[in-house]
Amino acid sequence: MPDRMNLEPRTLEGDHVRLEPVTGEHEAEMREALNCDPENWQLQVISAMGEHFDRYWQAMTKMPDRIAFAVRDKASGRIAGTSSHLFIDRHNRTLEIGSTWFRPEYRGTAINPETKLLMLGHAFDAGAVRVQFGVDSRNARSQAAVLKLGAKKEAIIRRHKITWTGHKRDTALFSIIDEEWGGVREALERRLLQAKP
């Protein structure tokens, strides 16, 4: 068993998406992609719309324990959204997948499950023993999506974060551990065979 998780930024590619580690070259395209769906941003810890983008971009690119990905729809070439490896703890071999956001037209397609399949595979291949997901307790759609991935709900962390709107957020915590990954991977692969592009 390795004593450290060797998780490094690299491009991840599936049938529907290409996950590109975010660099300065993505900034203008990411600004355009994320500047929509104000109702959904109300449920996020920070917003990327309009004047909020610069703060969001700093969080994406300057946090030392984060690998942010631009999720590119291979069919159109457009950025469909973003997701990140967060709170990377190489010694304890744990991390979170979060700060996930997709344009409305990509929700309910193969984009999100394939993104998660690639990110989970990258994490567990690097030696992760636990991957967690933290979701706003008000966000029923995202909680359902995480459960559909095969994650187990662990707890509600009360008053966990104060969001950009001032809301005192309760966070629903989910996880997948290394012993579960094989079954989760197989279920996701089967699901992708039936998903619409």
Q: What is the mean pLDDT of the chain?
A: 94
The 10 Å CB-count burial string (b at 16+, else e) for 9-35 is: beebebebbbbbbbeeebeeebbebbe
What mean pLDDT is predicted for residues 19-45?
Answer: 94
pLDDT band with cut points at 50, 70 and 90 for residue 125: very high
Write down the pLDDT at residue 180: 97
pLDDT band with cut points at 50, 70 and 90 for residue 1: low
Write down the pLDDT at residue 196: 67
The model carries a pTM of: 0.94
Return the CATH architecture of domain 12-192.
Answer: 3-Layer(aba) Sandwich (3.40)
Record the tokens describing residue 186, joined without a space. 């197989």
What 3-state class would DSSP assign to 75? coil
pLDDT band with cut points at 50, 70 and 90 for residue 193: confident
Alpha helices (H) along the chain: 27-34, 38-41, 53-62, 111-125, 140-149, 178-194
Record the tokens describing residue 47, joined without a space. 């917003």
Write down the pLDDT at residue 72: 98
Each residue's pLDDT tens digit, 131-189: 999 999 999 988 999 999 999 999 999 999 999 999 999 999 999 999 999 999 999 99
Write down the pLDDT at residue 2: 62
| Domain spans, the chain | 12-192
